[in-house]
Amino acid sequence: MSSSVGSTTITSRFLALTKTTKFAWFIGHFAVVLCSIFYWLSLRSTSLTEIWYRIIFLGAMESFGVLVYQTYGKALKKGDVRNGSGPVNFRQVIRDENVLYFLLSATWLILSPRIAIATIPFFIISLFHALTYIVTDIASNVLQVEDVKKHPYLRFIDTLVSDNHETSLNAICNSELLCLLYNFIRLLTFRSRSFIAFVAVFLFVRFKCYNSAHMKRSIAKWEVRLDGVIAHPAVPHPVKTQYTNAKLLLRRAFITPTEKKGN
């Protein structure tokens, strides 16, 4: 980073920045944001829709792949990923959100047909990461802005990101739960490869619950809302019974081992 700050022109400073690993991470998120917009605009109108869809998840794989490699790259080279205790163990890896997002984006990339709703959480994640990078890295290293608060556009972006941080995390979790519900409906209607898609999202949400308080709160809010709907007098008693059984089953699936011990 210091070489980019010491450069004399914007172009040379930008070129210096492009050589960093973090810039590669940013490019992946930028591709997700840009191609998500193109994808939704061309959803029913152009033959490029499939291409935009694939690039979204290629970009996501690239960004999360950078983080996964930075975290586990050396251990993987040494074969030091163990099932039990050790510098890196298998349980730690499968509970890492970066690993989970990398695997989920790879699933959506390979799987067909397209599932449009699957792009939403990746778009939200990438949008906030890309905006943060613009404010923290491009502004300071390329534009050499000393105080973001004094720059009208950068101040707006910085305020937008900071003020909506919690909202974005909740929106990501809710969109992932919505994706889970959508794929469950696809499973019930015997759509193509619906079982693989549902299992992928189910396991993703399951493992994300280990570390994400936002996901746990989102599930709790969905449960309260569904309880209110099912409690309506017009809902038949057998439906209420099946709902209660399903809820208990899901609760056992999503409660982490530490929570079970605490109970």
What is the block-wise mean pLDDT of the chain (263 residues), using blocks of 10 residues? 57 93 97 96 84 96 96 72 63 90 96 92 98 94 87 92 95 96 93 93 93 92 91 88 85 62 48
pTM of the model as a whole: 0.87
72 touches 93 (CB < 8 A): yes
Q: What pLDDT, on the 0 to 100 scale, is given for residue 1?
A: 39
* Residues β-bridged to residue 89: 82
Q: How many Å is the Cα radius of gyration of the chain? A: 21
Q: What pLDDT, on the 0 to 100 scale, is given for residue 82?
A: 61
Nearest-10 Cα torsion for 242, 244, 248, 249: 10
Q: How many CB atoms lie within 10 A of CB 216?
A: 18
- Lookup result for tokens 């308080």: 213
- Lookup result for tokens 């794929």: 183
Q: What pLDDT, on the 0 to 100 scale, is given for residue 246?
A: 84
Q: What pLDDT, on the 0 to 100 scale, is given for residue 256?
A: 53
Distances in Å between the alpha carbon of 174 and those of 16, 102, 171, 187?
A: 38, 19, 5, 20
Can you tell me the distance from the alpha carbon of 123 to that of 64, in angstroms, rounded to the nearest whole number?
13
- Residue among 115, 92, 25 at smallest CA distance from 61: 25
Token code pair at residue 261: 């011990």
Q: What pLDDT, on the 0 to 100 scale, is given for residue 5?
A: 46
